[in-house]
């Protein structure tokens, strides 16, 4: 995982199926869980969906909130420290 991957989650839309047009970061948990059970697509899309599933499953959605346009999110101290650890800033 890197910052570009996280930025892609809030800028790339699902290209097909039931949730076509939704940002990958906005896909519902049950849809991500379905992919986890049935298999993720190949390529970049599959890699990003796996990442989003892991973020969603581990309740780390706050990592992508600051990347959204018109963001008003301010991470807590503990969330900020986790960001520093994850990205070794």
pTM as predicted? 0.75
Q: Which residues of 8-18 are buried (b: 16+ CB within 10 A; e: fewer)?
A: bbbeeebeeee
Q: So what's the pLDDT on residue 86? A: 74
Domain ranges within the chain, ordered by starting residue: 3-87
Say if CB 14 and CB 20 are below 8 A apart.
yes
Q: So what's the pLDDT on residue 42? A: 95
Q: So what's the pLDDT on residue 2? A: 79
Q: Could you read off the pLDDT of 25-60 as tens digits, one per residue? A: 999 999 999 999 999 999 999 999 999 999 999 888
Q: Could you read off the pLDDT of 65-83 as tens digits, one per residue? A: 878 776 555 566 677 677 7
């Amino acid at each position: 995982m890197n910052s570009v991957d996280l930025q892609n989650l809030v800028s790339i839309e699902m290209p097909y199926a039931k949730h076509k047009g939704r940002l990958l970061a906005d896909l519902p948990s049950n849809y991500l869980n379905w992919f986890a059970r049935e298999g993720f697509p190949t390529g970049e899309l599959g890699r990003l969906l796996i990442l989003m599933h892991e973020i969603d499953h581990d309740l780390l959605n706050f990592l992508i909130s600051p990347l959204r346009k018109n963001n008003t999110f301010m991470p807590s101290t503990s969330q900020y420290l986790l960001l520093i650890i994850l990205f070794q800033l």
